[in-house]
Structure 1
Amino acid sequence: MNLYLRYFDKETLVFNVDDAISFLSSIPEIDMDEHLEADIRDYAASNVYYPKRYKIRPRVYFIIIKTEAASMLDFKQKKAVRPTIAGESREAAASALSRLVDDRPGWYEGALDFKRVVMIPATGKFEYRDTRFVAQCKANSPQDCYDRIVEHLRGRVDSRSQFPSVKGKNFRYKYLGYWK
């Protein structure tokens, strides 16, 4: 595992912790003590892949990033990205999106959180209010359920109301069963 270190315009890619510590020691603004050195060694030995930043003074940090890159050019071109995590999240997102359009006729319960425009009677002005709408409807797919709910609401609320995407977290559905 290699380490990328950066402090303002000073950056390097090192292949072991000792080189990282010597690079940081060469920067006068960084006070390298035994606690900082031990923390850097612990971070390098851990299974954590998130970047780590260390505070030098208020609003001034240096960062360390674990990478598989063999050279600075590979790191800059993001050739050493960990594919397992990125691939798994893409597959999960793709399967969630494909479930939205799967043809499965039946009863659905859809819940939609949207921004509804309402008038305040005291002032005569309008404002957005977070509103939840839950409905049970016959539909052929979750996408169809969403479309039916939005179509129903468009005729009953102010046209300036804002509806979320079917792909977002503000639309939830549950399949209740096949209709007869």
Structure 2
Amino acid sequence: MRVGQLRVEHEGEPYEWRGRFSRRRWVCRCDCGNLTEVREDRLKNHTTRSCGCVRTAVARDRLLRHGGRSGGRVAPEYWAWQALLHRSEGVRVCRRWRAGKGQGFTAFLEDVGSRPSPRHRLTRPDPSRAFGPGNACWQADVPRRGVPRRLVAWRGRQMTLHEAAEKAGVPYARLCKRLERGWPVELALQA
């Protein structure tokens, strides 16, 4: 006999309530491999259909937010998807990934897959096209692109603040503070 994911193997010890025999119990093997004892009335009424593994799976799915959030931890793929949707520089994202009620994140995960390692970042092979199924992939050790925050002329060359701070041997944060306070570039870059 089979009920849900349970296959009845043999009769177990009877269920006693307040010292009296109340119900028969059956030993059942679940599809997941666990053995469990179930009261006969619960098998007949189909109220118990597994060893508890289905309830655990349903609860886990309920806790996951769009498949990307569980127990206060957020999957890196979820952060990447959120960053795509909230970028201020006008990067376009396909309609499929912008769908609501978790469907957008699910579609994003189906198309791009899980991030292979923490070194990987989401990139677009063709920057002229929107982020979408054919134009997004995980790449390792990708240098950050974009317009530098500020260029400075130092020793006859134009360079970013990071480059200038590194070449001058001045901590980047200190250089930024000095420039915010109005220091000339040559003086700010002195160690």
Q: TM-score, normalised by structure 2?
A: 0.26
Structure number having the greater strand percentage: 1
The structure whose RCO (Cα within 8 Å, separation 6+) is larger is 1
